[in-house]
Amino acid sequence: MTSRQMLLCMQFTSGYGAEPGAWRLPGANLSSYTDMDQYVRYAQAAERGKIQLLFFADTPVLDVDLEDQAPHHPIDPLLVMTSIARETERIGLVATASTTFNEPYTLARQFKALDVISHGRAGWNAVTTSDPAAAANFGHHIPPRAQKYERAHEVVQIVQALWGSWEKDAWVRDISGKRFADMGKIQPFNLQGRHVASRGPLPIPPSEQGQPVIFQAGGGSYGLELAGRYADGVYANPYTIEDGQAQRQALHDAAKRAGRDPDEVKMFAGFMPTIAPSRRAALDRRRFLNESVDLRQRVRYLGAMIGLPLTYDQIDGGRPRRRRCRRRPERPGPV
Ligand SMILES: Cc1cc2nc3c(=O)[nH]c(=O)nc-3n(C[C@H](O)[C@H](O)[C@H](O)COP(=O)(O)O)c2cc1C
């Protein structure tokens, strides 16, 4: 008999809640953004509540107006997850990092270290990043989509090769034989792509789960192909049940096209609950939070997601003029 079990993931933001005004709610810890004890308390409550994993979204940019809003990302997803890892036992720890603005060796080393520190609970949400202001923080522009995803495929493959560069029993720790590790089982692999390369191996042994799991967030054909090929989990934000089912089906098809068992890829559909002692109190709380939404920031975010420079003053205007782009037939491929 098979039993169906729902997997629950909790998304953390900057320590207050996802809405811009959440930091002003009565009882909020005003220092949550930098208070690791607060994050640890939330994580321990989630673990007690049977939530399987914690998730940090991230874009490496200050993209809110701090005059009246708290940031919506943590000070650093990996470092906050490391603080949480030491104070929790079972809950999964998935952090976001960009495939466009990081080198694969750095990503592989940091996530593998978190995996070992947490005894096999780490995951990497591999995103390509679409905000031009984030690109500017690295002195770059957002590359064309095909190029961005070609790099993403190379980065994920090299990261996985680095994670796999120790065989399972390579770390022998044999005092009498004076052998710390079996170097025959720790090998360089020399991968060279068009955008990134690495020699390997990584100086970190496998964790209890072997290596971190891979997540992906974002839609579109390129994102789906990335998820279909590598992801164990996908974070999605469908707005209706039908939309959620369609996204699940598209992910299912993408995994099949990649030759994988589609049930290996779990989809986590996001929703934002408002929790209070009564329905009335929850509705009041939701109204307060909704009123704090900053439409200027949301319009800018929408523009980054769809690749158009949208501004708030266009909100009542006509359809923005779209620059004609030539279609690029080539698809991202293996390294
Ligand atoms: C539900 C969801 C969550 C996302 N989370 C992140 C994130 O944490 N960090 C990030 O840089 N981009 C995030 N994205 C953006 C995507 O990775 C992607 O850049 C975006 O969908 C635009 O697609 P493109 O990269 O194909 O242009 C998210 C997208 C969706 C739909």
- Give tens-digit pLDDT for 65-94: 898 889 989 999 999 999 999 999 999 999
List domains and CATH numbers for the chain.
9-314 (3.20.20.30)
Q: Are 114 and 97 in contact (CB under 8 A)?
A: no
Task: Report whether residue 129 contacts ligand 1, using a CB cutoff of 6 Å.
Answer: yes
Strand-pairing partners, residue 94, are 55, 123
Categorize the per-residue pLDDT at 330 as very low, low, confident or very high, splitting at 50, 70 and 90: very low
Three-state SS for 239? coil
* C-beta 97 within 6 A of ligand 1: no
E strands, the chain, in order: 9-12, 53-56, 92-98, 122-127, 191-192, 197-198, 213-217, 233-236, 266-269
Largest CA distance in the chain: 77
Q: Say what the pLDDT of residue 335 is.
A: 40
Q: Which residues pair with 98 in a beta bridge?
A: 127
Q: Is 80 exceeded by the pLDDT of residue 325?
A: no
Q: What residues have CB less than 8 Å from 174, skipping those under 6 apart? A: none
Ligand 1: does its nearest atom lie under 6 Å from the Cβ of 11? no
Alpha-carbon span 270 to 279, nearest angstrom: 21
Greater confidence (22 vs 1) lies with 22
Closest ligand 1 atom to residue 148 Cα is 25
| Enclosing H/E stretch for 118 | none
Quick: pLDDT tens for 162-191.
999 999 999 999 999 999 999 999 999 999
Q: Among 128, 222, 267, which residue has the most ligand 1 atoms within 8 Å of its CB, making it the best to mutate?
A: 128
Question: What burial letters (b/e) apply to 112-127, b meaning 16+ CB within 10 Å?
Answer: bbbbbbbebbbbbbbb
Q: Which residues of 184-206 are buried (b: 16+ CB within 10 A; e: fewer)?
A: eebeeeebebebbebebbbebbb
Ligand 1 atom nearest residue 129's Cα:
11
User: Measured in angstroms, how far is the CA atom of residue 127 from the centroid of ligand 1?
Assistant: 6
Kindly state the average pLDDT of the residues 230-234: 98
Determine the Cα–Cα distance for residues 101 and 234; give it in Å rounded to an integer.
21
**For the whole prediction, is pTM greater than 0.95?**
no
Question: Burial level of 169, CB count in 10 A (0-12/13-18/19+)?
Answer: exposed
